[in-house]
C-alpha cells in the first residue's frame, strides 16, 4: 500500500473561484494565472477547471508548451516576457503573447525574424519597482515597439504592490492612467487582491485582470479577510492518515528537540506527512501548533514537524465523540470528507508564511489527482 498522503485538486472549486473573479469584474476578460505549475496544483490538473478563462498567464516556456499540448488554442501570456532571443522563436511558433518590460526585450524583438507579428503587453513600473518601464520612459518604449514590424498589437499593463493592504492601488492607478491616457490598446491590471477589493473603485477599469491565488481558493488579503468572506473554495486538499498513536503521561515530550511536553495524560496521533511533503516545518517552531482536522475535527500539531511525520493532539477528537486511531483521516488543509474546511491560509499563518508558499511547495513525492468535486 502506498504511503497514505494525497493531494486532491478540486475541479468544481476551480470553476467556482473563476466564476467569482468574473463576477467581481464582469466587464474584464480573465487571465488564469497558472505560473509555478499552477501554484503547485499542476497545470494539467487545473486545466479542466480553468479552461473557462479567457487566457492562461505564466512565466515558463515549458509551461506554455504544456498548456498548448492540452489543446488550448486561446491566448497564453508570458508574464515576464522572454529571457533570451531564441525564446521569441517559440513565441512565434506557439502564438504566445509576451510582456515587454525592458529595453533589452525590445532589442531582441527588433532582431527577431518572424512572419507573424507578436502581441505584446508593455509593462509599466508604476511603483512596485520590480519589472517595467518607469512612467517617464514608458511612452518612448511604446513608440519604439509600435515602429517594429515584429509587433502587432500593444497592450498596456502594470502590477500593484499593495492591493491587499492599507496603501491600496490608487497611487499606482493614477500614475498608470496619467501616463497612458491617450495611448491605444487594451489594459491589463489587477491581481487577485485588486480584483476582489478594488474592482469597483473609480479608474480601475481593465480589459484584462490577472487573478492567481483566488482561483486556488486562498484569500489574497488574509487575515483581514478569509476565503469564506470572498466566497472562495479550496482548490487543493492535502490529506493523509494516522499511522501511529502514542499515549503520553504528564512530562512526556514529543519528537526531535522535545519541544512539546505533555502537561497531563494525552493521546497523540502520528500522521504520514512531513516537511519533505511540503508541510511547513515552521508550523512547529513559530506557533503553538498548526491547525489540522482529524476525522473532520479541528485539533493542532504538537512537537516538531519532521521529514516524514507530524504529531497531532487527539484529545479534541476524542472529546468530539470520535475514536481516532491508525487509519483515521487527516486533513492538512482543504476539505475533509464531511465537508469541514481547513483554510490553507490558517496553516500558513501558523507557520509565519502565506498560502501561496504552501501551495507552491507541495512536494513532487505527494501523489496528486484531480476530482470533479
Ligand X SMILES: Cc1ncc(COP(=O)(O)O)c(C=O)c1O
Site string for ligand X, 303-332 (x = CB under 6 A): ------------------------------
Task: Label the pairing between strands 266-272 and 6-10.
Answer: unpaired
Q: How far from the centroid of its chain's Cα atoms is residue 129's Cα?
A: 21
Work out which of 42, 81, 220, 280 binds ligand X, going by CB under 6 A: 220
Smallest gap from residue 35 Cβ to ligand X (A): 7
Strand partners, 28: none
Nearer to ligand X, 179 or 192 (CB): 192
Nearer to ligand X, 79 or 232 (CB): 79
Helix (H) or strand (E) holding 38: helix 35-39
Q: Which of 193, 210, 158 is nearest to 33 (CA)?
A: 210
Nearer to ligand X, 67 or 271 (CB): 67
C-alpha cell belonging to residue 317:
477528537
Nearer to ligand X, 211 or 296 (CB): 211
For 182, residues 6+ apart whose C-beta sits below 8 A from its C-beta are none
Nearer to ligand X, 32 or 270 (CB): 32
What is the footprint of ligand X within residues 252-291 (CB under 6 A)? Answer: none
Work out which of 20, 22, 112, 159 binds ligand X, going by CB under 6 A: 159
Q: How many residues bind ligand X (CB under 6 A)?
A: 10
CA distance 294 to 308: 18
What is the footprint of ligand X within residues 61-100 (CB under 6 A)? Answer: 79
What is the footprint of ligand X within residues 174-213 (CB under 6 A)? Answer: 191-192, 210-213
For 72, residues 6+ apart whose C-beta sits below 8 A from its C-beta are 47, 51, 56
C-alpha cell belonging to residue 259:
519541544
Nearer to ligand X, 124 or 242 (CB): 124
Work out which of 14, 18, 32, 33 binds ligand X, going by CB under 6 A: 33
Smallest gap from residue 38 Cβ to ligand X (A): 11
The catalytic residue positions are 35, 256
Smallest gap from residue 33 Cβ to ligand X (A): 4
Smallest gap from residue 141 Cβ to ligand X (A): 17
Smallest gap from residue 11 Cβ to ligand X (A): 19
Smallest gap from residue 179 Cβ to ligand X (A): 18
- Residue nearest ligand X (C-beta atom): 212
CA distance 72 to 117: 20
Position 15 contacts ligand X (CB under 6 A): no
> What DSSP string runs through 43-63?
HHHHHHHHTTSSEEEES-HHH
Site string for ligand X, 334-353 (x = CB under 6 A): --------------------
Residue 316 to residues 15, 261, 291, 332, Cα–Cα distance (Å): 34, 17, 12, 16
Residue 305 to residues 41, 44, 283, 308, 312, Cα–Cα distance (Å): 23, 30, 7, 8, 10
Helix (H) or strand (E) holding 196: helix 192-197
Nearer to ligand X, 79 or 314 (CB): 79
Q: Which of 13, 68, 3, 1 is nearest to 335 (CA)?
A: 13
* Contacts with ligand X, residue ranges (CB under 6 A): 33, 79, 159, 191-192, 210-213, 220
Amino acid at each position: 500500500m502506498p504511503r497514505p498522503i494525497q493531494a486532491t485538486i478540486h475541479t468544481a472549486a476551480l470553476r467556482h473561484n473563476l466564476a467569482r473573479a468574473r463576477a467581481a469584474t464582469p466587464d474584464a476578460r480573465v487571465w488564469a494565472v497558472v505560473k509555478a505549475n499552477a501554484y503547485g496544483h499542476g497545470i494539467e490538473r487545473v486545466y479542466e477547471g480553468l479552461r473557462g478563462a479567457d487566457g492562461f498567464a505564466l512565466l515558463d516556456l515549458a509551461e506554455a508548451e504544456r498548456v498548448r499540448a492540452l489543446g488550448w488554442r486561446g491566448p497564453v501570456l508570458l508574464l515576464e516576457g522572454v529571457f533570451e532571443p531564441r525564446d521569441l522563436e517559440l513565441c512565434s511558433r506557439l502564438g504566445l503573447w509576451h510582456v515587454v518590460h525592458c529595453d533589452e526585450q525590445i532589442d531582441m524583438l527588433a532582431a527577431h525574424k518572424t512572419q507573424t507579428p507578436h502581441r505584446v503587453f508593455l509593462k509599466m513600473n508604476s511603483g512596485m519597482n520590480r519589472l517595467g518601464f518607469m512612467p517617464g520612459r514608458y511612452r518612448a518604449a511604446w513608440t519604439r515597439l509600435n515602429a517594429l514590424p515584429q509587433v502587432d498589437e500593444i497592450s498596456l499593463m502594470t502590477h500593484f504592490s499593495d492591493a491587499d493592504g492599507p496603501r491600496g492601488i490608487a497611487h499606482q492607478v493614477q500614475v498608470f492612467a496619467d501616463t497612458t491616457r491617450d495611448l491605444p490598446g487594451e489594459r491589463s491590471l489587477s491581481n487577485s487582491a485588486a480584483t476582489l477589493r478594488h474592482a469597483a473603485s473609480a479608474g480601475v477599469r481593465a480589459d484584462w485582470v490577472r487573478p492567481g491565488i483566488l482561483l486556488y481558493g486562498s484569500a489574497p488579503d488574509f487575515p483581514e479577510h478569509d476565503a469564506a468572506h470572498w466566497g472562495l473554495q479550496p482548490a487543493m486538499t492535502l490529506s493523509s492518515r494516522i499511522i501511529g498513536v502514542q499515549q503520553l503521561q504528564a512530562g512526556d515530550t514529543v519528537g526531535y528537540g522535545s519541544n512539546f511536553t505533555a502537561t497531563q495524560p494525552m493521546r497523540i496521533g502520528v500522521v504520514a506527512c512531513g516537511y519533505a511533503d511540503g508541510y511547513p516545518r515552521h508550523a512547529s517552531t513559530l506557533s503553538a501548533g498548526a491547525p489540522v482536522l482529524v476525522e473532520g475535527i479541528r485539533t493542532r500539531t504538537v512537537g516538531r514537524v519532521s521529514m516524514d511525520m507530524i504529531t497531532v493532539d487527539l484529545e479534541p477528537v476524542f472529546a468530539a465523540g470520535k475514536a481516532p486511531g491508525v487509519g483515521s483521516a487527516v486533513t492538512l488543509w482543504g476539505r475533509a470528507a464531511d465537508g469541514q474546511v481547513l483554510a490553507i491560509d490558517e496553516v500558513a499563518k501558523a507557520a509565519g508564511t502565506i498560502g501561496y508558499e504552501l501551495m507552491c511547495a507541495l512536494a513532487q513525492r505527494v501523489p496528486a489527482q484531480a476530482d470533479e468535486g
